[in-house]
Structure 1
Amino acid sequence: MARPDDDSFLAALRDAVRLRDCIALALVPAIAVAVFALPVARRRSLAFAYGDPSLLTAYTAQFVHFDAAHLAANVLGYALVAGFGYVLAALSGYRRVFGVTAATYLVAFSPALSWLNLALPRNAVSYGLSGLNMAFVGLLALVLVAYGSRLDDRISVRYAPGLFFAVVALIALIVPRAGTITGIGAASVVVAAGYVLSARGSWPEKPRAGWGPRLMQAGWLDAGVLGVVTLFGYQFVGFDSLVGDSGIVNVYVHLLGFCLGFIVPYTALALGVLGPDRAFLSD
C-alpha cells in the first residue's frame, strides 16, 4: 500500500480502492431501487408502522420509498457519504475499520434505528435510507480525521470528537427548536474548540519528514476538502427540510444515526477492538 509521499494521488487511489468493496457498497442502493419497483401495497407492508412494529419491518423500512424524488435523494446521499467515506478510509489505511463498521450499520443499525423511533410514540410510519445515511456521515467524520493523520502525522484520530462536536453545533443551528437544542449547540462549540486547542498545543513544530508536503499537492488536499464539504453540507440536506410539526421524529432519528455512526467506530478504535490496516502499521 502506497504511503502519501510515495506515489501520486491517482496511483494511490487505484491501489487503495477494491472493486469488491464498491460492489458491496452498491448493494444498498440496488436493494432500495428493487424495493421501489414493488407494488405500493407491498411497500406499505414493508414500512415500519409505530402502531404495529415488527422485527422484519424494522429492517426492511430502511429500503422503502414511495416517491421517486425521495428515493433519488437518498441514493445520491448514500453515494456521496458512503463513497467519500470509503475512499478516504482506503487512502488512510482504515479500510477494515470502514468495512466492519459499514457491516454493523447494515446488520444492526437498520433495525435499531427503527425501534428507537418508538421512544417518541405517535401514529406514524417510518421508511427510507436517510437514518442509515446519517450513520455513514458519522463514520465520514471519523475517517476524515484519519485521512488527515496520513497526510500530516501531527493530526491524530484521538481528536476526531472535535470534528464530531463541530458538526453537532452546525446541526443545532440548522434545527432551531427548544432551548435544549441551543444549549447542546453552544456546548458542542465549546467542546470542539477545546479539542482543537488541545490538539494544537500538543503538535510538534514540524511534521515527520516527507509527510507534510504531500498535503499541499494536487489530489490529496482536494479529496480532503471534498470530504469536509460533504460532511458539513449534507447536514443541510438531512436536517434543514425537516423542521415542522411532522419532522421531529426524523430529526431525532437522523441525529441519533449520526451520533451512533461516529461513536461506535470511534469507541472501537479507542478500545483497540479495531485498528489501521496492517499495510500501514509499519509506515
Structure 2
Amino acid sequence: MIMSIIIIIFSLSESTRRTLSFAYAEPSLWTAYTAPFVHLSAAHLAGNVAVFLLVSGAFYALSRHVRTPWLFFSALVAALSIFPVTLSLLNLAVPRDAVTYGFSGVNMALVGFLPVAIGRYIEAKRGRPIDTGLLLAAFFLSVSGIAIFAVPRSPLASAVGTAGLTLCVLFGGSAVRQELRLADSRGRWRASASDPVVIVGIGTWILLLATAFPQTVATDGSVTNVYVHFVGYALGFMTAYLAHEWKLFENRVEKRVDTGRLGSS
C-alpha cells in the first residue's frame, strides 16, 4: 500500500508534486504528511523503493520466523500515519529556506526497528529473553559510527562519537556480564551468530545505515537530509525498543516457552 501511494503521487505532474512538498518557510500539516511520499526524479523514487523493499523484506522475514508479526505491522502503520508528519515537523528545528520531500526519513525509521526485530528473533531461537542492554549498545554504537564517519569533523561530532562509544561499552558490558551468568550462554550465542537469518538481518542493518549517511551529501543541486535520516532512525529505534521493553503488545517472558520450540542450541 505504501508503495502504491508513492507511485500514484509520482504519476502526478511535477508542479502538483512540488505543491505537496514541505516548505520550511510555509509549513502546514497537510504538506507535512504528503511530503515524504513525494519524489521529483525517477532515480530518487527508485532508490527509496529499493530501500523500502529491502528493509521491509528483512523485517518480514524476522517476524515470520518468530511468529510475532505485531512489530512488522505496527511499523508499517506508523510509516503511513505517525512518522511522515512527525519527521516533517522535526525538520523545522533546522531553519532554512528550502523544501523537503522523499520517503528516506520514514525508511530510516523502519531501519531503526531492525535491531529490535533481530533481538526478538534471537530471543525466540534461544528460548529465553536477552538482556535489552544489548539493543541499546547496538544503537549507541551505530550513533557513534554515524558521528565519526558520516558527519563533517567538528567538536560536536567528536563529542557525540565519544559519548556513543562510552554508552555502548557501558550497556554492552553490563549485558555481557548478565549473559555470562546464564547456563550454556556462550553456546547459544555462537549458534545465534552463525544463524543465516541473523547474519542477513545485521548485514541489511549495516548496509542501510552506510547508505543513509554518505560522506558526500550534495549532488546535482540537492542535499541529502542526513538530519532527518538520523531523526527517523532514532525515532524508529526508540519506538520499537520501548514497545518491546514495556511489553505493550505481548509478554516476552510468557512467550519464551512457546518460541523456544523454534529451536535453540
Output one character per residue of 1:52-73: Cα deviation in whole Å (capped at 9) or x when no partner.
Answer: 1111111111111111111111
SS in 1 for 2:170: helix
CA spacing shift, 1:270–1:158, aligned 2, 3 Å: same
Verify: 1:76 aligned to 2:54, yes or no.
no
Q: State how far apart, in whole Å, the 1-side matches of 2:119 and 2:192 are.
A: 13
Verify: 1:64 aligned to 2:42, yes or no.
no
Kept in 1: contact 2:129–2:252 (CA 8 A): no
Q: Give ranges in structure 2 of 5+ residues lacking alignment.
A: 259-265
**In structure 1, what residue type is equivalent to 2:138?**
L
Kept in 1: contact 2:127–2:257 (CA 8 A): no
Q: Look up the match of 1:198.
A: 174
SS in 1 for 2:225: helix
Q: State how far apart, in whole Å, the 1-side matches of 2:28 and 2:243 are.
A: 29
CA spacing shift, 1:224–1:244, aligned 2, 3 Å: same
Which residue of 29, 36, 43 maps to 1:55? 29
Q: Look up the match of 1:41.
A: 15
Kept in 2: contact 1:242–1:250 (CA 8 A): no
1:212 shift after superposition:
6.8
1:276 shift after superposition:
5.7
Q: State how far apart, in whole Å, the 1-side matches of 2:204 and 2:164 are.
A: 20
Kept in 2: contact 1:174–1:236 (CA 8 A): no
Q: State how far apart, in whole Å, the 2-side matches of 1:137 and 1:280 are.
A: 25
Verify: 1:138 aligned to 2:116, yes or no.
no
Alignment of 1:141-160 (within 5 A): 141-153=115-127, 156=130, 158-159=132-133, 160=135
Q: State how far apart, in whole Å, the 2-side matches of 1:199 and 1:113 are.
A: 32
Which residue of 162, 174, 179 maps to 2:137? 162
Q: Look up the match of 2:242.
A: 267
SS in 1 for 2:32: helix
SS in 2 for 1:240: coil
1:282 shift after superposition:
3.9
1:86 shift after superposition:
2.2
Q: Look up the match of 1:187.
A: 163
Kept in 2: contact 1:135–1:260 (CA 8 A): yes
Equivalent pairs counted in the alignment come to 253
Verify: 1:101 aligned to 2:75, yes or no.
yes
1:198 shift after superposition:
1.6
